[in-house]
Amino acid sequence: MSIAAARDRFLSDLRIRPLIMGILNVTPDSFSDGGRHDAPAAALDHAAAMVADGADVIDLGGESTRPGAAPLGAAEEIARVCPVLERLCAEGGVPVSIDTYKAATARAAVAAGASIVNDVWGLQHDPEMAAAVAETGAAVVIMHNRAETDPDLDILHDLERFFECSLDLARRAGIPGERILLDPGIGFGKTLAQNIACLNGLDWLGSWGYPVLLGLSRKRMFGDLLGRPLEQRLAGTLAANLEGIARGARVIRVHDVAEHADALKVGAALAR
C-alpha cells in the first residue's frame, strides 16, 4: 500500500466510523508500556496482535512524551523507529502513524512508509515540521500542548489560540485542510479540571471542521478521579472514550485495543 493510499484510506474511514489507533511504543521509558516492545521483534508481534484485535491504525513512537521524560535526538529516534516502520508498512495491514515532534524523524518515517505524522507540539516545536508534513504528503495530527500547567488558565481559550497558530503554520506550508486532525492533548500541561473541560468541549472543537483525535488511554486523570493505579484504568478509559465518541471524536488512541473494539461493536449494534 502506497503512502498516499494508506493516508487516504485512514482519512476516508474516519468519516464513516470511529477508528481505533493502537499505541506502539518502542521506548524504554514510556509511562505505561516502556521497555515492553523496544526490541523490533516484540514491537512487530505487538502491532500484529493489535491489528488482529481491531486496530485501524498503528501509532509508533520512539521517544517518551510523558512529563519529565529525557529528550531524544533525532538520529537515535530514527534508529529506533525506522526498522520497525519498514517491516510494519511492508506487511501492508493498516496505515501507520509516526509519533514525533521532529521534522527529521517525520521525513525519515514517511520515507519508511508512515502516512500520518502525530505531533504532540502541533507543528510549533520544530520550525521545519510543517514543511516536512507538506513535502511528504502525510496526514497530520495537531495536538495542543503546554510547557507548564496553569490552573487559572481558560483552557478552551488556550486551545483556540494554539490551534489558530498551528493551522496558520499548516496553511503557510501548504498542508491541505482535509489532511489535518486536531487533538486536545488530554494530560499535557493541564490540570484535572482542564482535562475535563477539554472533554466537555469536544463538540466545540469538532465545530472547527477537522476530525478530532482523542488520546487519553490510562492517563493520570483516571488515577486522580478513581484512585486507580496505571494497570486498573481501563474502565475509566473506556467510559471517557465512549463519551468522547458521542461528542464527535473520530479516532481514539488506546493501549487496550480489543476492549475498545468490543465496546464500539456493541455501540454500533445498538445504534442500528
Supply the residues annotated as catalytic.
Answer: 219, 253
How is 129-143 classified by DSSP, letter by letter?
HHHHHHHHT-EEEEE
Strand order in the sheet with 116-119: 180-183, 139-143, 116-119, 96-99, 57-61, 19-25, 251-254, 213-214
Single-letter residue type at 248: G
| Continuous segment of H or E residues that includes residue 234 | helix 234-246
How is 94-130 classified by DSSP, letter by letter?
S-EEEE-S-HHHHHHHHHTT--EEEETTTT-SSTTHH
- Residue 39 three-state SS: coil
CA separation for the pair 54, 49 (Å, rounded): 9
Joined together, the cell numbers standing for residue 227 give 484512585
Total Cβ atoms within 10 A of residue 90: 11
CA separation for the pair 115, 109 (Å, rounded): 9
- Residue 57 three-state SS: strand
